[in-house]
Amino acid sequence: MKFSANLGFLWNDKPLPDAIRAAKAAGFDAVECHWPYDTPTSAVNAALEETGLTMLGLNTRRGNVDAGDNGLSAIPGSEAEARAAIDEAIAYATAIGAPNIHVMAGFARGSAAHQTFVGNLKYACEIAARNGITILIEPLNSYDAPDYFLTTTDQALAIIEAVGEANLKLMFDCYHVQLMEGDLTHKIGRLLPSIGHIQFASVPDRGAPDHGEINYDHVFQAISGLGYTAPLGAEYKPRGNTNDTLAWMNGNVKLLTTIPIVRSAC
């Protein structure tokens, strides 16, 4: 099993290039981030080249954070700003070789928001495809992000079908899905053809995956048994120093090499 460090939360007290180096030193196989736009792509590329890591993905800008924005692409009337954020994300991802972009929906409701999101995603997918980039959409839970437009995997699948582009995939964050729907391993198995990236954190506190209501030994084993080989994104909020929260990683790697998958026919 491979793991990616989400540098939006892990080592987020360091400049992004130094966080990349810290992730490599800790044994991660890849990195990902939220909003890297204040860091020159040259500095990110230098750290990626030095470490041999890939930046798996990044997010589109949220908009006016001071005004409470958490994405723009499902907000009717914000199409120009949303598409500018998409253009910026594609340019940055292309410059650093990132294969995925999470297009953030924002706070909205109703059929007009659905149509706006579908239109902006079609725009994003068309441009991203020219650069070999996959667009991701991620359901967020209603406890942490009340009124966020995209909240469930069924809603995400309906949007993916409406857009109809091969490079639009689901970001399956175990933390968010557990809070909204549960039944993680069955859902991952059913949705795997539509999944572009998997993330995880403990529930309910979004900490390291070594406590809480999700048995990640079981979840990671199930994912491995499905033949999923891409790095899983550690997007959790460390309590204190990130390096002091990584015992789970070595523990689960060892477990997955010794416990077989057992399936029942009934």
The residues carrying an active-site annotation are 138, 235
Structure tokens at 263: 């399936």
Q: Which of 86, 59, 60, 104 is nearest to 233 (CA)?
A: 59
Q: Which of 1, 119, 122, 124 is nearest to 59 (CA)?
A: 124
Give how far the C-alpha of residue 18 lies from the chain's centroid of Cα atoms, to the nearest Å: 21
Neighbours of 41 (CB within 10 A): 17
Measured CA to CA, the distance from residue 52 to residue 30 in angstroms comes to: 9
∠ CA(218), CA(208), CA(72), 5° rounding? Answer: 100
Structure tokens at 18: 């130094």
Sheet containing 57-59, strands listed edge to edge, beginning at the edge strand earlier in sequence: 30-32, 3-6, 232-234, 195-200, 168-173, 134-137, 100-102, 57-59
What dihedral angle (degrees, nearest 10) is formed by the CA atoms of 125, 123, 44, 170?
-40
